[in-house]
Copies of this chain bind each other. A is one copy, B any other.
Amino acid sequence: MTSQTYPAKQHLLKTAKNLGADTGVIFVRGGDILTHPDSDTEYEFHQDSNFYYLTGVKEPAFAAALDIASGTAILFVNSVSADEAVWIGVPPSLDDYRATHGFDQAHYTADIASVIAELNPAQIYVLPHHSTTQLGKLLLASVPVDTEKLITAVHEARVFKDDHEIAVMRKANQISGDAHVQLMHKARVGMNEAELRGQFVGLVLSQGCDYEAYGSITARGRNAAILHYTKNNMQLDSDQDMILVDAGGTLKNYASDITRTWPLGAKFSPKCRDIYQIVLDMQKAVIAACVPHKQWEDMHILSNRVAAEGLLKVGILKGDIDSIMKNFVVGYFMPHGIGHLIGIDTHDVGGYPTGTERINVPGLRYLRARREMLPRMAFTVEPGLYFVDAILADAKANPDVAKHIDFDMVAKYRSVGGVRIEDNIVITETGNDNLTSCPKEIAEIESIRASAYA
- Point out residues on A near B: beta carbons under 8 Å: 31, 34, 36-44, 46, 48-50, 82, 85-90, 127, 129, 151, 192, 194-195, 197-208, 213-215, 226-229, 233, 335, 345-347, 349, 388-391
**Best-surrounded residue of A37, A46, A226, A346 (most CB of chain B within 10 A):** A37
Interface pair B214/A206, CB less than 8 Å apart: no
Interface pair B37/A129, CB less than 8 Å apart: yes
Interface pair B86/A41, CB less than 8 Å apart: no
Q: Which residues of B contact A48 (CB under 8 A)?
A: 36-38
Interface pair A37/B41, CB less than 8 Å apart: no
6 of the cross-chain contacts (CB-CB < 8 Å) are: A38-B49, A40-B347, A88-B227, A192-B208, A194-B205, A201-B202
Interface pair B203/A345, CB less than 8 Å apart: no
CB distance from A380 to the nearest CB of B (A): 14
- Out of B90, B199, B207, B349, name the residue touching A390 (CB < 8 Å): B90
Contact A205 to B201, CB < 8 A, known contacts A48-B37, A347-B40, A390-B85:
yes
Compute how far the CA of A347 lies from the CA of B38 in the bound complex, rounded to whole angstroms.
11
Q: Which residues of B contact A347 (CB under 8 A)?
A: 39-41
Q: Which residues of B contact A46 (CB under 8 A)?
A: 36, 41
How many protomers of this protein does the assembly include? 2
Compute how far the CA of A389 lies from the CA of B228 in the bound complex, rounded to whole angstroms.
49
Contact A86 to B208, CB < 8 A, known contacts A202-B203, A203-B198:
no
| Chain B residue nearest in CB terms to A202 | B202
| Chain B residue nearest in CB terms to A225 | B89
Interface pair A41/B214, CB less than 8 Å apart: yes
Q: Which residues of B contact A34 (CB under 8 A)?
A: 34, 43
Q: Which residues of B contact A233 (CB under 8 A)?
A: 208
Interface pair A390/B86, CB less than 8 Å apart: yes
CB distance from A191 to the nearest CB of B (A): 9
Interface pair B198/A228, CB less than 8 Å apart: no
| Chain B residue nearest in CB terms to A347 | B40
**Best-surrounded residue of A90, A198, A207, A391 (most CB of chain B within 10 A):** A198
Interface pair A82/B194, CB less than 8 Å apart: no
Interface pair A38/B349, CB less than 8 Å apart: yes
The 8 closest A-B pairs by CB, nearest first: A202-B202, A198-B206, A198-B205, A89-B226, A195-B206, A87-B228, A37-B129, A87-B227
Q: Which residues of B contact A43 (CB under 8 A)?
A: 34, 43-44
Interface pair B86/A44, CB less than 8 Å apart: no
Interface pair B227/A86, CB less than 8 Å apart: yes
- Out of B49, B200, B228, name the residue touching A39 (CB < 8 Å): B49
Compute how far the CA of A46 lies from the CA of B35 in the bound complex, rounded to whole angstroms.
11
| Chain B residue nearest in CB terms to A197 | B205
- Out of B36, B205, B207, name the residue touching A49 (CB < 8 Å): B36
**Best-surrounded residue of A48, A206, A389 (most CB of chain B within 10 A):** A206
| Chain B residue nearest in CB terms to A206 | B198
Contact A42 to B215, CB < 8 A, known contacts A194-B208, A199-B206:
yes
Compute how far the CA of A41 lies from the CA of B49 in the bound complex, rounded to whole angstroms.
10
Interface pair B202/A86, CB less than 8 Å apart: no
Contact A390 to B82, CB < 8 A, known contacts A44-B44, A195-B206, A202-B205:
yes
Q: Which residues of B contact A207 (CB under 8 A)?
A: 194-195, 198
Compute how far the CA of A87 lies from the CA of B217 in the bound complex, rounded to whole angstroms.
12
Compute how far the CA of A45 lies from the CA of B389 in the bound complex, rounded to whole angstroms.
28
Interface pair B208/A202, CB less than 8 Å apart: no
Q: Which residues of B contact A49 (CB under 8 A)?
A: 36-39
Q: Which residues of B contact A192 (CB under 8 A)?
A: 208
Interface pair B345/A41, CB less than 8 Å apart: yes
Interface pair A127/B38, CB less than 8 Å apart: yes
Compute how far the CA of A391 lies from the CA of B90 in the bound complex, rounded to whole angstroms.
12
Q: Which residues of B contact A228 (CB under 8 A)?
A: 87-88
